[in-house]
Amino acid sequence: MSLRITPLTDPTCGPHGRRLAWLASDADSIPAGTAFLRLLDGGQEHLAELDLCVHPAERRKGVGSRLLDTAVTTARDNARRRVVAQAEAGSPGDRFLAARGFRKVLTFRYTRLAMAEVDTTVLAGIVERPHPGYRLTSWQGTVPDDLAQTFAASRRAMDDMPMDDAEYGTVAWDVDRVRAAAKAVEQRGDHLHTVVAIDASNGSIAAFTELVIPGNGAGDGQHYGTGVLPEHRGHGLGRWMKAESIRQAHRDYPDLDGLLTDTADSNAHMRRINDGLGYTPTHTTHQHQLDL
């Protein structure tokens, strides 16, 4: 198969990393596959994330291998030490990565909560139960100015989440970065909702959870990060916040079908929270890593 690899210009280049893209096409200029390589920064300068897709009709013709070689060479040229990629467990992509030197370093379990099955009475009982020393607050979009510093500081709650053998590094968060992340969601037309637990003793954020709702308020929303600072764990804050996040989504978006979340298989605590709130499994993915 005569194959041409064409570099593309990525229109979504952001302030915290950049993404490179390539199109594979045959002699008649018919697209056969794509590859995107995200070069991370802010504490993850050693890492590149790969998203590679080959049309089912064009598989086993060398398209994926050519795209992979191009992406890996580019990662090396940019001084990256690791390339990571995800694929659904047992899929052709899962087998492709394993056959080309990637090793499985992490398993994610994806679950979904059907909004039609949400019991608002149960949620109210969770949310209204007192958590001495803490209170909940929430906002939509960008963090309010008076909470911006403490919200950025609270992001370190994700630094020690279970990641098995994956080497993500430590993301450096500041106020500019949390505002940029919120702006990115807004620019694509979606709604970012954040619920936080406030330490009543000093007004700082002890924990947070984020939920993104499609711009039209329909289909499925997606949970982003949920984290509790180490010094505030053991008080049920994760379950408390997530229940409030679900309650708000159920109240404010009547056309919403469900909520999606993914959790590392080894993160038993968050999996128990999701199971207890009614989330049911949908599929499993493997994260693969290539050491350069």
Q: Is 158 a member of any domain? A: yes
Domain termination site, one of 30, 60, 80: 80
Q: Is 87 a member of any domain? A: no
Shared domain for 40 and 124, answered yes or no, is no
User: What is the model's pTM?
Assistant: 0.88
pLDDT for residue 107 is more than 60: yes
Shared domain for 41 and 134, answered yes or no, is no
Shared domain for 241 and 114, answered yes or no, is yes
Percent of the chain residues topping a pLDDT of 70: 95
Total count of domains within the chain: 2
pLDDT at 9: 78
- What are phi and psi for residue 106, nearest 5 degrees? -160, 145
How would DSSP label each residue in 15-48?
SS-EEEEEEEEETT--EEEEEEEEE--SS-TTEE
CATH number at residue 13: 3.40.630.30
Q: Is 99 a member of any domain? A: no
Query: What is the pLDDT confidence band of residue 18, given thresholds at 50, 70 and 90?
Result: confident
Q: Is 95 a member of any domain? A: no
Domain with 73, as residue range(s), is 4-80
Shared domain for 65 and 124, answered yes or no, is no
Domain termination site, one of 42, 61, 80: 80
CA proximity to 182, closest of 9, 16, 65, 11? 16
